[in-house]
Amino acid sequence: MKKIKLEENENIECSNKVILLDNPTYVIFSLKADGIYLPSIKKGDYVYQEEKIAIRKGNHFPIFSSVSGIVEMVDSNKIVIRNDFKNRVREHNIIEYSLNSYTKLEISNILFQLGIINSLDKNEPYEMLGKVVNKTLIINALQQDAYIYLQTFLLKIERKELLELIEAFLEIYNFEEILIVVPKNQELLLEEWKSCIRDSKIKMVEMEEYYSLSNAKELIRAIKKVTYANGLIENGITIFNVSTMLAIYGALKYRRPQIKTMIQFTGNMWKNNCYMEVRIGTSLQEAIEQLSYKRATDVLLLKGGIVSGKVININNYIIDAKALAFTAWKVTKEIKQDSCIRCGKCSKACPVNLHPALIMDAISKKRNLSRFEIQRCIDCGLCNYVCPSNIDIYKNIKREKEKII
């Protein structure tokens, strides 16, 4: 795979400031994300914070309310809860559980019952940890896109909690190794972590960052120099990012669902790029009101980063546990889609050597796509990023790929 280094503008930084947004007026939960969810409450009901409000059709994977308050609306798409700002929970006692005392089966059951999701992968943690043998656990703290540093930041500020979980996992799953992957040039972070590690099976791995190491298979290839034909789980490899590890920690330590998440605001349009801890279900609009925003035209708002991020509408976007970063980007050229000019930039950029322009051509002519091997696309979004004609190549490839996978 090609190693694409993202050029970053050094003037765009992120302060270590964390804004707390603890009192959203409403919280909203989609009933159509990652499956169809069936509500277990109705309009007018009172719900407690951390109360189960819906379950996934098929396997009963739950959603919990992140506030206490009145259910304002329930339809087939969403649940809206008006916050009463009382943070009322049914169970007041906070018990701290010993992480070492769990069995593998108990861990999978708790992570399932508390609806802990994986912010890196479509497989939830209860599935990944519950499979066959667990040989290697990789904790990925690398950048997922340009100007996104959230995972490294969390590794810095939550070391004690993470280490407690890592050491417990080592004992319970008997992992052959646990690798914590950090970007190069983080000497202080590295030293702090190394000075606390007591078991030689826990290793810090420094990586030169290139795009896209957020792709699990590419990360494994870069670290272990092997390419697996089949899935990672089958090969005993589990990968979590730091956000997911912290959600697992909260569930096992306190037996509580995840009701808050940390996100990063980045790009060249917030006055101060920063991190924010928010309740899950908060509207992006309400979160953004806490920030100084350079209002301007021609600003792209993306969930994720400028390369692989998805353009979103600020008015109806709800923050869920998978939302890790939002980029506001002032575009310097007019975003107008033109015809393909056959410049070849998309083919040159594609890390897995696909030919996006030819694929687009075949799609528009409804030709058979089998020779283009679009299933190898790693969803990096680089073809879109480099295209001078602003063609949404990736969206089309993704749609075709979903038909065959």
* Ranges within 281-340 binding ligand SF4 (CB under 6 A): 340
- 357 in contact with ligand SF4 (CB under 6 A): yes
Nearest-10 crossing angle of helices 187-196, 159-173: 50
Q: Tokens 């992570």 appear where?
A: 111
Nearest to 258 by CA among 214, 311, 319: 319
Among 350, 362, 372, 400, binds ligand SF4 (CB under 6 A): 350
Residue whose CB is less far from ligand SF4, 78 or 345:
345
Binding segment for ligand SF4 (CB under 6 A), chosen from 46-54, 152-160, 200-208, 349-357, is 349-357
Residue whose CB is less far from ligand SF4, 153 or 394:
394
Task: Give the span between the Cα atoms of 145 and 248, in whole angstroms.
Answer: 24
- 389 in contact with ligand SF4 (CB under 6 A): yes
Shortest approach of ligand SF4 to residue 15 CB, angstroms? Answer: 31
Binding segment for ligand SF4 (CB under 6 A), chosen from 23-31, 43-51, 293-301, 389-397, is 389-397
- 343 in contact with ligand SF4 (CB under 6 A): yes
Among 352, 363, 392, 396, binds ligand SF4 (CB under 6 A): 352
DSSP state for residue 135 in the 8-state scheme: -
Binding segment for ligand SF4 (CB under 6 A), chosen from 196-204, 267-275, 316-324, 376-384, is 376-384
- 354 in contact with ligand SF4 (CB under 6 A): yes
Task: Give the span between the Cα atoms of 40 and 363, in whole angstroms.
Answer: 42
Shortest approach of ligand SF4 to residue 321 CB, angstroms? Answer: 24
Residue whose CB is less far from ligand SF4, 189 or 377:
377
Shortest approach of ligand SF4 to residue 195 CB, angstroms? Answer: 39
Nearest to 325 by CA among 255, 243, 381, 398: 243
Element (H, E) at 22: none
- Detail the DSSP E strand segments found in 36-107: 37-39, 46-47, 52-56, 62-64, 69-74, 78-83
Among 13, 176, 277, 379, binds ligand SF4 (CB under 6 A): 379
Shortest approach of ligand SF4 to residue 372 CB, angstroms? Answer: 9
CB 3 within 8 A of CB 207: no
DSSP string of 189-235? HHHHHHHH---TTEEEEEE---BTTTSHHHHHHHHHS---SS-TGGG
Among 34, 341, 371, 375, binds ligand SF4 (CB under 6 A): 341
Nearest to 28 by CA among 279, 262, 243: 279
Q: Cα 90 to the chain's mean position, in Å?
A: 30
Shortest approach of ligand SF4 to residue 307 CB, angstroms? Answer: 9
- 3 in contact with ligand SF4 (CB under 6 A): no
What SS3 state is found at 69?
strand
Task: Give the span between the Cα atoms of 152 and 142, in whole angstroms.
Answer: 7
Element (H, E) at 311: strand 310-311
Among 23, 94, 344, 375, binds ligand SF4 (CB under 6 A): 344
Output the six-digit token pair for 328.
């506001």
- 146 in contact with ligand SF4 (CB under 6 A): no
- 394 in contact with ligand SF4 (CB under 6 A): yes
Shortest approach of ligand SF4 to residue 377 CB, angstroms? Answer: 3
Task: Give the span between the Cα atoms of 115 and 55, in whole angstroms.
Answer: 9
- 387 in contact with ligand SF4 (CB under 6 A): yes
Q: Tokens 């280490």 appear where?
A: 163
Shortest approach of ligand SF4 to residue 324 CB, angstroms? Answer: 19
Interface residues with ligand SF4 (CB under 6 A)?
A: 340-346, 349-352, 354, 356-357, 377-383, 386-389, 391, 393-394, 397
